[in-house]
Structure formats: structure tokens, C-alpha cells
Amino acid sequence: MTGGMVGFWEVLGGAVGAVYLLSAAMLALQAVVHVVLLRAPAPASVPAPVPAPASEPALGAVGAGGPAGAEDRPEVVVQLPIYNEPAVVERLLEAVARLDWPADRLTVQILDDSTDDTPDRVARWLAARPDRPFRWVHLRRTHRTGFKAGALQAGLEAVGDVPWVMIYDADFVPGVGDLAYAMRHVRPDTAAVQLRWDHLNAEENGLTRVQALNLDAHFAVEQRGRQGLGVWNAFNGTAGLWRVEAMRAAGGWEGDTLAEDLDLSVRVQRAGWRVEYRDDYGVPAELPADFAAYRAQQRRWTQGGAACLRKHVSTLPSVPSRRLRWHARALLAASSIHLAVWGIAVSSVGLVALAGPPASPHSPALPWIPAVLDGAAVLGALLLLLIALYKTAANRRHGWRIGEGWAWFLPRMAALWLLGAGMAWWHVRAWMAGIRGTPAEFVRTPKRGGLVAPPPPRPARSFGGWQEALHVLYFAWGAYLGLVSGHWGLAPFHLLLAAGYAWVAIGSSQPNLRRARI
């Protein structure tokens, strides 16, 4: 082999190895964050009694953590941002009408940007219930400026001097006691109280089972861990109570990212307020039941998270506490994990290809590659940590001890691993769009309201699964190379990746998964 060719293989191998090791380092850092959150103390169930700020009506026993009479409850506006939700809007309105709150102290804002027959459904529902409790306001905008953030800001500007707003997305079913419970956890510096998400259709199909497990880990480990540590947390966009004073002090809702909830959370906490999370009270919601809806949702969340990282990371040095800064960076960079997942997967195939069989003419120039491949035990360790993370979440949600629930958990964990691997490229594209500041439309997640209906239209910018199909071939080739070259340690990993991308590719081409089972 000529010196020039040796140099080429060394440069190529060094580049691929750098991607592999950098991705492994990112995954290890994420693992450290999750270990810290796993070990966080459990949040107190009810805060100690505190006096209400002089600038707002006294909360009485509600603010102190006990039951309250109607005379002690402050005025609240319930905001319902909706956009083309014919399958679920009546269910939402019926649930809101059952909220336990004095009728003269609650106003319902229906923030309706719909372009279909949803406004007619709302109007018919209102007309059919002249004796409904509370004051109802149906707000319609002529332009969908700012998308959901714009609708919420328009509602915020209309609430007047009401001190609190409660927000529900259309796919949620509010519980009778939501407001009273959230109010019990208000402190003088509380900007928002986020309630846990539960699931209406967790057992509908394989995709919803995996989502339920994933969201339970987000809330039971990540959100609960941040609450227990007393660090920055995030409002999740719905099923939460907001203090109007804090929202206005932070500048209100802004529509320059697709994650207006995370954006406002960062701004209020940077101003000294707190976002509280309560893990012991859940509000059920509908999970996307097909890949068309799921991919639209995941693209919005990932692109919005990256856009918030781009917008706020330069402001974090002004946060006075090093501990808060560390956790704030971890919160903003959470969606970056997909870069590491995709990077380590793709580069691992490159390393197998470069290593070649022992008699390969260029293997002497890259003697370190087999050692890196033999270090695949790192991936195994990270997988064990993921199992611990999600099993802890399942234990907390279902009340299991460590040795219980494995027959229920393991199939879902395997499917979650496949889905996470198979969606990585989709997330990478979304993350890159967000970090570049690429303008994007807020593509709603279609809801079905439990009805058996035809698959919804494919969302904008869907790729139909063909890029995932290319990944299937790539990782299948990686597994073949590993087996024939003798570097077979990563072959199972590559086969699992191929299977994950195959699931996503097939699901993206055939969105209706109602008969899928795990």
C-alpha cells in the first residue's frame, strides 16, 4: 500500500472514529444526567403553608395545601387552544364543564383557529347547553399568526386582571379536581404547576404502548427528578396552571419556536420564578395511534427543542447558580440525544467496514479500530442504564417493586429501543432544522377521539419512509460485514437497528396501526 493510501485510510478512519467516540461521549453525558435525576429525592407531596403575595387574592386553604371553600378560590381562565379538532372538541368541552370551581370565578376561553367544521361544532355545543356553568368565550382569529403560541397570547391579552390561567390541549380530558389540586401547590414564586400526563389509549396498539412507556419515564424520572432537586423544569404545553403575572413579566407567549412551552418556561425561570411539577396527579390524554400523527408530533417537539437551545443557550451564563446552569443546559439540550444515537449507529458500521478481515491490506494502518469495536460493551452498559431508567418509571407509575412487572415491561422496552433507533434520522433532520432556525409550520397532531377512522392525511414534509428504508439496507450491510470479517460484536446491534428502521419505514407507509401488537 502506498503512503498516500495509508494516509487516506488513516484520515477516514480517524474521522469515523471521532464521530463514534464523540457520540459515545454525548450518550455518556446524558447517562450522567439521568443517573442524577434517578437518584433525586422524591418531591414533597404538599408544600408547607405559605402566605399569598399581597398583589393577588388570598388563596386561603387552597394555597396552604388543604381543602378550600368557594369564597377562597381565585378567578381562573381556562384556555383551550384548538385547531381542526372535530373528533375530540365536544369531549373536551364536556370535561371542562365538569370542573369543580365556583361558576362566577371561572371563564373558559375557546381559542379556536380552526379552518374546518370545528367552530360549527363548538357553536352547536354552546347553543345546546344554555344552562352550562362558567362564562364561555369563543375567540376566533382571522390569521393563524404564531400558531398555538399566537392563540395563547391572544387569549392572555384578553384575560384582564384574572391572576391564573389553566391550559388544556384538545386531546386531554380534564378531571373534576384539576384546578383545586394545582392550586394547593402554588407558592409565592410559582410561575406554573405542571400536572402529570396519563394516557387514554395506551393499549390501543404497539405504537401507543411504546409512547406510554416513554412518556412515563419523562414524567416519573426527568420531571419528577428536576422537581426533587429544585432545579429548572419545563411546562409541557398543556394540563398546567400558569400565574398571569409571571407570564406577562417574562414577555408572554412567543411564536418564534415550535416549543413555545419550553421557551416560556426558560424565560420565567431566568427571571426568578419556579415551574413546579406534580407527579402524584394525572390528566389523561390521547396518544397518536399511527405513524403519520406520531412523526408530526415528534418533529415538532424535536425541532422546537433545538430552536429553544439556539435561542437561550447564550443567556445561561447570567444564571447565578452553577448548579442551575448545569441543569438548564441539560434541559435545553435534551433533544440533542438523537444526534448521538444516530451518530454512534452510523459510524459503527463505518468502523466495521474499515477494520476489514485480519488479512485486510489497510488494517495495519488502523490498528486501533478493532479495539474500539471490542469496546462495544459501552453500548451494553448504556442499554442497561436505559432499562433501569424505564423500569424505575414503570415501577413508580404502577406501584411495582423491583422484581415485579417484567413480563409486561420487557416487550415494551424492546419495542421502545427499536422505535428510538428507527426514528433517529427523523429526529436528526428536525433537530438540524431547529438549530439552524429554519422557519416551520406548527403541524398539529391528528386526534381520533377513540373513533375507528381512516388514516389522517400525511403531514407536511413527510418523507414516506424511503429514507428509513435506506437505513435498513445500510445496517443490514453492517451486520453482514461484521459477521464475515470476524468483528461480529456489533452485529446484533446493527440487526436491531435495521429492524427499528424497518418498523418506522413500514409504519410510515401504512399509518393505520390499530391491529399492531407487542
Active site residues per annotation: 113, 261
Q: Report the alpha-carbon distance of residue 137 to residue 145 in Å, rounded.
A: 20
Is there a contact between 219 and 196 (Cβ–Cβ < 8 Å)? yes
Q: Report the alpha-carbon distance of residue 336 to residue 79 in Å, rounded.
A: 31
Which residue pairs, CB below 8 angstroms and at least 24 apart, start in 456-460?
456/290, 456/292, 456/293, 456/511, 457/292, 458/292, 458/511, 459/292, 459/293, 459/295, 459/296, 459/299
Of 265, 309, 313, which Cα lies nearest the Cα of 435? 309
Is there a contact between 498 and 472 (Cβ–Cβ < 8 Å)? yes
The set of cell numbers assigned to 343 is: 451518530
Residues 6 or more apart whose Cβ sits within 8 Å of residue 444:
83, 84, 296
* 6, burial (CB in 10 Å: exposed 0-12, middle 13-18, buried 19+): middle
Angle formed by the axes of helices 377-398 and 406-422, nearest 10°: 130
Neighbour count for residue 42 (Cβ, 10 Å):
12
- SS3 sequence, 91-153? HHHHHHHCCCCCHHHEEEEEEECCCCCHHHHHHHHHHHCCCCCCEEEEEECCCCCCHHHHHHH
